């Protein structure tokens, strides 16, 4: 039976193609806000980092009402590092809006989210966004979407539905059109198409209760909150239910509070019927994939599998000489508690303490996935240090070593394409496609995740900042052998002092600096990159010896090039195995694991003897 007063739809797209802005305009079109209400742009990007980075990190669901129909809208992340959110959330939907930039067309991560939507069996409606952008080609973007759906194995029914249901929009300007030039200036054609043509939930209204938890929320007051769609029956506040876990374990629990989604918030209610999305309080230690069902007539649902993590990083308490200057929380015990608390809320990460208790290993889907956690923690006042990201290998059924492989796409001016191919070749990449139409060359590569680290910076250098670079996890493939790392050595401070302009003026002739005059440095800290291989210990506090023939001010003006600064992701990609990133609320510093130069030499001798 179809529940005609409900629609459950997901919005899927590549990063920055306008999903969250589109949801804003749908909310405004259905009078979700009071006339005098001050509402920020991208209202669903409630997390500080989401607003700063301009990306969606956490999947969110809202509901809007139009023509008597409640539309549950699921806003999904576009970045593959947060793919664990996408895979699960699509299970709650019957249809999806595939949002594509009219200028860029389908991008690598469009392929990633669309593959999941097709595999889930959703009806897909194409929304060509940003049709007012200069250089936009809506028809080409539409045809490219259909080609991509066919490549990904869409069924005939899905392709027919997509061909008949296309909307041309500008989310920024708040209009949707059935034809790019029809002059309509509101969102109602899109809303009408959702209500009239998107399938209503097909559920068993009178059957036994069956609800599957696909998202976990957490409250300090009530603990874990399980969110999911009710597939059959009705769930009531106070019900005694059977909880069936992914591994088959069963236990009973009582629903203590029940919520449904209402515009931007949740509304407490007494019951939620089949086809709607509910938030349930009272199920202790509930997890992704848990099925809430009738104890007397249990219903079985397929377990939810989340793609495994591909990278891990070890978090350790900071051992820097400057520890405690910026942050309030520096202890190992507090660091461990904070990460274990994250394990409760973030099921897409695997978080385990190391056997020797020296740190906590955190595994995720990519560097961005891991760096978002680090950025959150530094804003909370934590100081800690992390090592180089380590790729997680697997073995296939024959015992062969397998490693994660990414699909990388670069678009750059024609004259730089040869250099880009050379950079990828040195990093273990294999070119799979090349399209040199017009003045821009489109290049696609398969490359091990190990080779991706630090690659963006090199691509930007060889394309003089004009390249566009995206990558997304593709599959586990055969181990590709040794891949060259950073070629240049580091400049390492020999003392714990403030950097002096005179010393930096002589050092910048040897390479690129990371610090400026007055920066507090310590022994073992990386202060620059050499232009040659091999590390070099330097004195960043050296001053000019003054003779009686010179005045102390005659050579005071030293011309310094601005230092290179690192974001958290860039720092993680830059370091090598014997280096660490020190993260504090105010600073990101690079350092050697062993701060003392003599200790580093002893360790190098030991490593050389062991290799013999």
Q: At what angle do helices 19-29 and 188-197 cross, to 10 degrees?
A: 90
Neighbours of 56 (CB within 10 A): 26
Angle ∠(190,195,199) on CA atoms, nearest 5: 115
Determine contact, residues 103/16, Cβ cutoff 8 Å. no
On whether 16 is known to bind a ligand per the annotation, the reply is: yes
On whether 130 is known to bind a ligand per the annotation, the reply is: yes
DSSP H helices, 208-302, are none
Neighbours of 294 (CB within 10 A): 18
Copy the structure tokens of residue 550: 């010179």
User: d(Cα 13, Cα 21) in Å, to the nearest integer?
Assistant: 12
Among residues 475, 534, 527, the alpha carbon closest in space to that of 506 is found at: 527
Paired with 407 in beta bridges are 446, 472
Q: CA-CA distances (angstroms) from residue 404 to 366, 454, 472?
A: 11, 16, 11
On whether 482 is known to bind a ligand per the annotation, the reply is: no
Copy the structure tokens of residue 225: 């909150």
3-class SS of residue 414: helix
Output phi, psi for 189, to 5 deg.
-60, -35
User: d(Cα 36, Cα 477) in Å, to the nearest integer?
Assistant: 56
User: d(Cα 352, Cα 340) in Å, to the nearest integer?
Assistant: 8
DSSP line for 147-189: HHHHHTT--HHHHHHHHH-EEEEETTTTEEESSTTS---SSHH
Angle ∠(168,173,177) on CA atoms, nearest 5: 25
On whether 129 is known to bind a ligand per the annotation, the reply is: yes
Among residues 19, 18, 72, the alpha carbon closest in space to that of 194 is found at: 72
Among residues 380, 376, 379, 352, the alpha carbon closest in space to that of 364 is found at: 352
User: d(Cα 282, Cα 290) in Å, to the nearest integer?
Assistant: 13
On whether 19 is known to bind a ligand per the annotation, the reply is: yes
On whether 587 is known to bind a ligand per the annotation, the reply is: no
Output phi, psi for 91, to 5 deg.
-65, -20
On whether 21 is known to bind a ligand per the annotation, the reply is: yes
Determine contact, residues 261/62, Cβ cutoff 8 Å. yes
Determine contact, residues 141/128, Cβ cutoff 8 Å. yes
On whether 20 is known to bind a ligand per the annotation, the reply is: yes
Q: Which residues are annotated as a binding site for GTP?
A: 16-21, 129-132
Q: Which residues are annotated as a binding site?
A: 16-21, 129-132
């Amino acid at each position: 039976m179809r529940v005609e007063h409900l629609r459950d739809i997901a919005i899927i797209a590549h990063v920055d193609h306008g999903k969250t802005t589109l949801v804003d305009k749908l909310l405004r079109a259905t009078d979700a806000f009071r006339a005098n209400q001050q509402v920020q742009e991208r209202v669903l990007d409630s997390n500080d980092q989401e607003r700063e980075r301009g990306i969606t990190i956490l999947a969110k669901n809202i509901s809007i009402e139009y023509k008597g129909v409640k539309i549950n809208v699921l806003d999904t992340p576009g970045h593959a590092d947060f793919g664990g959110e996408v895979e699960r959330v699509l299970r709650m939907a019957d249809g999806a809006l595939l949002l594509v930039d009219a200028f860029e067309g389908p991008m690598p991560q469009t392929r990633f989210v669309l593959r999941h939507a097709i595999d889930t069996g959703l009806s897909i409606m194409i929304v060509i966004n940003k049709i007012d952008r200069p250089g936009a080609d809506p028809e080409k973007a539409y045809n490219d979407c259909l080609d991509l759906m066919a490549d990904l194995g869409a069924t005939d029914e899905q392709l027919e539905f997509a061909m008949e249901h296309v909307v041309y929009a500008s989310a920024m300007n708040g209009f949707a059109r059935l034809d790019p030039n029809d002059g309509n200036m509101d969102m109602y054609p899109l809303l009408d198409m959702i209500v009239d043509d998107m399938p209503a939930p097909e559920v068993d209204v009178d059957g036994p209760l069956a609800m599957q938890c696909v998202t976990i929320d957490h409250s300090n007051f009530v603990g874990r909150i399980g969110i999911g769609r009710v597939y059959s029956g009705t769930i009531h506040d106070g019900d005694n239910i059977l909880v069936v876990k992914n591994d088959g374990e069963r236990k009973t629990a009582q629903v203590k509070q029940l919520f449904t989604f209402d515009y931007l918030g949740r509304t407490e209610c007494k019951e939620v019927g089949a086809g709607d999305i509910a938030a349930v309080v009272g199920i202790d230690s509930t997890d992704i994939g848990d099925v809430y069902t009738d104890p007397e007539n249990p219903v079985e649902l397929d377990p939810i599998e989340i793609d495994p993590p591909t990278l891990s990083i070890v978090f350790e308490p900071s051992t820097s000489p400057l520890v405690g200057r910026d942050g309030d929380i520096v202890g190992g015990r507090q660091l461990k508690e904070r990460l274990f608390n994250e394990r409760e809320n973030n099921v897409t990460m695997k978080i385990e303490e190391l056997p020797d208790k020296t740190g906590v290993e955190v595994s995720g889907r990519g560097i961005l996935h891991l760096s978002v956690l680090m950025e959150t923690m530094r804003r909370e006042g934590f100081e800690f240090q992390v090592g180089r990201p380590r790729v997680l290998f697997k073995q296939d059924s024959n015992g062969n070593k397998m490693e994660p492989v990414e699909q990388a796409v670069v678009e750059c001016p024609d004259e730089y394409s040869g250099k880009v191919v050379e950079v990828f070749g040195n990093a273990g990449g294999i070119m799979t496609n090349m399209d040199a139409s017009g003045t821009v060359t489109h290049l696609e590569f398969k490359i091990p995740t190990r080779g991706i680290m630090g690659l963006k910076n090199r691509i930007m250098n060889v394309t003089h900042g004009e390249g566009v670079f995206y990558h997304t996890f593709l599959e586990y493939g055969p181990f590709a052998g040794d891949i060259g790392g950073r070629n240049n050595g580091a400049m390492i401070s020999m003392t714990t002092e403030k950097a002096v302009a005179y010393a930096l003026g002589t050092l910048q002739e040897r390479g690129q600096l990371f610090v400026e005059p007055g920066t507090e440095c310590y022994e073992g800290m990386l202060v620059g990159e050499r232009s040659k291989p091999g590390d070099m210990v330097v004195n960043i506090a050296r001053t000019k010896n003054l003779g009686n023939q010179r005045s102390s001010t005659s050579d005071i003006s030293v011309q310094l090039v601005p230092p290179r600064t690192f974001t958290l992701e860039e720092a993680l990609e830059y370091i090598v195995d014997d280096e660490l990133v020190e993260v504090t609320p105010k600073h990101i510093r690079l350092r050697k694991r062993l701060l003392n130069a003599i200790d580093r030499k002893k360790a190098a001798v030991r490593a050389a003897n062991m290799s013999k």
